[in-house]
Structure 1
Amino acid sequence: MARRRHRLGAGVKVPRPRKAVLLVALVITLALLCCGGSLTILLLGNVGDDKQTNLNTALGCGQGGVIDPDSKLPRIRPYGANQIRNAAIIIDVGSDMKLPPRAWVIAVATAMQESRLINLGHLGSRNDHDSQGLFQQRPSSGWGTPDQVRDPVYASTKFYNKLRTVEGWERMSLTRAAQAVQISAYPDAYAKHEQLATRIVNSLADGAANAVGNSVTMVCAASGQVAASGWTIPLRAGVGSGFRSASRPNHQGVDLIIGKYTPIAAVASGVVSLVKCDEDFNGRKSCNVDGYPGKGGCGWMVEILHAGDVMTRYCHLIQRPFVRQNQQVTAGDIIGRVGSSGNSSGPHLHFEVHLDNDRSKIGAIDPVQFMREQGAPLGNEE
């Protein structure tokens, strides 16, 4: 696909020719083969509501390229057409600069926090000093002239250039990487935008947030690689007992069947919120021995709180986990090893995903569907 070249100047842009992107009618569905031959559906055009944008649209792992910002774009609530166009420009500039999709997710989330994807001018008394534009860059701090920082192409380029100078940004949590560029008074504020920023990148760039996070080759993340969304799998194993199956309606997660001592990885950056030996039905804390069906409890367990108040739970570890409460972890960090402690009939990892940091069954959702949407499919999915 031919790339555009942008001239960066004092707020003046070269006209942007349209890309050869196929956009017809409201929704076009194309069956395509991706990532080892699995069948996916690509949706292009104007998406009418949030439910449709949640259908894991555009799982091409970025192989179809980014949508032209000047074409008709999907509707992604709560943002309007101009805001989504600004997001498309941010993504397009990152693609032009040969940066991997992880950088696009970080940049979009940063602009969501700084400006709600609105190209802000000087707001008078409401301004934070002289901050302007999508990234609230300050001319007085050397980001450029007022006209330049209000140019979305210029502002995006400056953001990416600064990100490139941050050593190890590809492995950082989104909020740490964004803060290293922005030096904000609210360094933890970026994290809450990560999930929606991922969805925006997937919608505007053919599922690019499902590609390997540190690669520009747009290959789908697999086998434990960290996706551009910032997520990875806890381990590579088939799914045994599923989420709330007919035979186990109260099973709030999935069982990944694999041998003892297999390393377990944190699936995304976050903070360890709980480490414990879970009591059995008799109130005993006997986690250093194999459990049995009907014993009760998770055995040795870990919970991690991620961006957007998503919590993941890991149960039946063979020994005390390697992490401690309040410890920060990044995607792929080893937190413990597989065992069979607690209410268990054999070695496996019981893995749960909860929304709104709700530890109860009310907050639990299907981990298989959730992880697929993050570009980190469980089990034998590709």
Structure 2
Amino acid sequence: MRRLRPTRFALLVAVVATLALLCCGGTVSAILVGGLGEEDKSNTFSAFGCGQGDPIDENADMPSISDYGPQQIRNAAIIINVGRELQLPPRAWVVAVATAMQESRLSNLGHLGSANDHDSLGLFQQRPSAGWGTPAQVQDPIYASRKFYEKLQTVKGWERMSLTKAAQRVQRSAYPNAYAKHELIATEIVNKLANGAANAVGSSLAMVCAASGQIAASGWTAPVKAVVGSGFRTPQRPTHQGVDLIIGRYTPIAAVNSGTVSIVKCDDDRRGRRSCNVDGFPGKGGCGWMVEIVHAGSVMTRYCHMVQKPFVEVGQDVAAGAIIGRVGTSGNSSGPHLHFEVHMNNDRTSRGAVDPVDWMRKQGAPLGGEQ
């Protein structure tokens, strides 16, 4: 085990001392992501960087990613290269790749005969009869990608939209909600081909890693900028299904990704009393004022211990970064903090829970101020 330098040891002691409080009725288990030297963080963010400056070599051997083969990934590389040439930020690349995944599975479609959707052709199923170009043009991946991006740029505010809304404004599909399910794999493809570009700030050409409060090209952002206190399923708290983000009362809480609010409630006392507008205490039970949001890819996030009734309602669509409530200490809590959980397959139980620190890092939106 490597020995910490004296200055780092002092910093570690100081932060732990600052966190000497109980969260959610348990003891602190400090993860301390961020705050140390670069060599300490070299393996904590991602295996990728935050964007490749040079174009991707489309003639190089391409990997298979998920269930997409080398030729399909080569088409994704073309889409990314055209976006870069047009000086569009990496969020546009993720949107374009996900759209082509839905329309053609990243394959350059010719005429499909009786199975064809009108005269739809190419990576994006663009229709010559609708003015997208000649049949030969829309079957040219470079031309088709350029036309997609040009139309995307006419959509006001596309950078702040959910991926499915931005894609639908361009495509006008009969299945407007179909694009969202491809966002996670599109993010993976962009990251692998362009050195982690989906980890960069999505609306910037600078290819700077997204920090807390910024939305990555993946579409994800941190809920608050705060130190991670009690961790996910630690030895001290094996049933702790999320992490506690230590931050002051009334701090705004952001939705970490676009999605639909599925639960808003006062989950305060397992004996049936509902008193979320007062401070909680260890052992009281419940999440206090809480929100759950369902995102693309059947991912669900949970936000607990808010100080007052949340600002959103069940069924409401929210964008990444939208303020959904404020930090408090209601429910089973002994100090102001945000308890944050991530669940897979829309499974609200402990079976669906995953480590939020690991998950958010992979989305380019690390917790705890990590860069």
* TM more than 0.5: yes
Give, in angstroms, the shift of residue 233 of structure 1: 0.5
Q: TM-score, normalised by structure 2?
A: 0.88
Higher helix share: 2
Among 65, 71, 75, the alignment partner of 1:82 is: 71
- AA of the residue aligned to 2:169: A
Q: What CA distance in whole angstroms lies between the structure 1 residues aligned with 2:215 and 2:227?
A: 19
2:131 aligned with 1:131:
no
**1:211-222 pair list within 5 angstroms:** 211-222=200-211
CA contact 2:100–2:123 (8 Å) conserved in 1: yes
Among 310, 314, 317, the alignment partner of 2:303 is: 314
Aligned partner of 2:245 in structure 1 is: 256
Q: What CA distance in whole angstroms lies between the structure 1 residues aligned with 2:327 and 2:123?
A: 45
The one-character-per-residue Cα deviations of 1:196-220 (angstroms, maximum 9, x if unpaired) are: 0000000000000011110111111
Q: What CA distance in whole angstroms lies between the structure 2 residues aligned with 1:380 and 1:115?
A: 38
Count of matched residue pairs: 333
Aligned partner of 2:370 in structure 1 is: 381
CA contact 2:212–2:367 (8 Å) conserved in 1: no
Give, in angstroms, the shift of residue 56 of structure 1: 4.3
Say what the alpha-carbon RMSD is for the aligned residues.
1.3
Aligned partner of 2:143 in structure 1 is: 154
The one-character-per-residue Cα deviations of 1:244-268 (angstroms, maximum 9, x if unpaired) are: 0000000000000111100000011
CA contact 1:310–1:356 (8 Å) conserved in 2: yes
Q: What CA distance in whole angstroms lies between the structure 2 residues aligned with 1:89 and 1:357?
A: 34
Give, in angstroms, the shift of residue 282 of structure 1: 1.1
CA contact 1:57–1:202 (8 Å) conserved in 2: no
The one-character-per-residue Cα deviations of 1:328-378 (angstroms, maximum 9, x if unpaired) are: 100111000000000001110000000111000000000000000111100
Aligned partner of 2:153 in structure 1 is: 164
Among 357, 362, 370, the alignment partner of 2:351 is: 362
Among 319, 326, 333, the alignment partner of 1:344 is: 333
Q: What CA distance in whole angstroms lies between the structure 2 residues aligned with 1:259 and 1:161?
A: 44
Give, in angstroms, the shift of residue 70 of structure 1: 1.1
Among 225, 247, 256, the alignment partner of 1:267 is: 256
**1:1-382 pair list within 5 angstroms:** 37=38, 39-40=41-42, 56-58=46-48, 60-382=49-371
Question: Percent of counterpart pairs with the same letter?
Answer: 73
Q: What CA distance in whole angstroms lies between the structure 1 residues aligned with 2:55 and 2:224?
A: 31
Q: What CA distance in whole angstroms lies between the structure 1 residues aligned with 2:96 and 2:261?
A: 26
CA contact 1:175–1:187 (8 Å) conserved in 2: yes
Aligned partner of 1:24 in structure 2 is: none
**Structure 2 residues not aligned, in runs of 5+:** 1-36
Q: What CA distance in whole angstroms lies between the structure 2 residues aligned with 1:223 and 1:79?
A: 32
Q: TM-score, normalised by structure 1?
A: 0.85
Q: What CA distance in whole angstroms lies between the structure 2 residues aligned with 1:369 and 1:164?
A: 33
**Structure 1 residues not aligned, in runs of 5+:** 1-35, 42-54
Q: What CA distance in whole angstroms lies between the structure 2 residues aligned with 1:299 and 1:220?
A: 34
Q: What CA distance in whole angstroms lies between the structure 2 residues aligned with 1:121 and 1:37?
A: 50
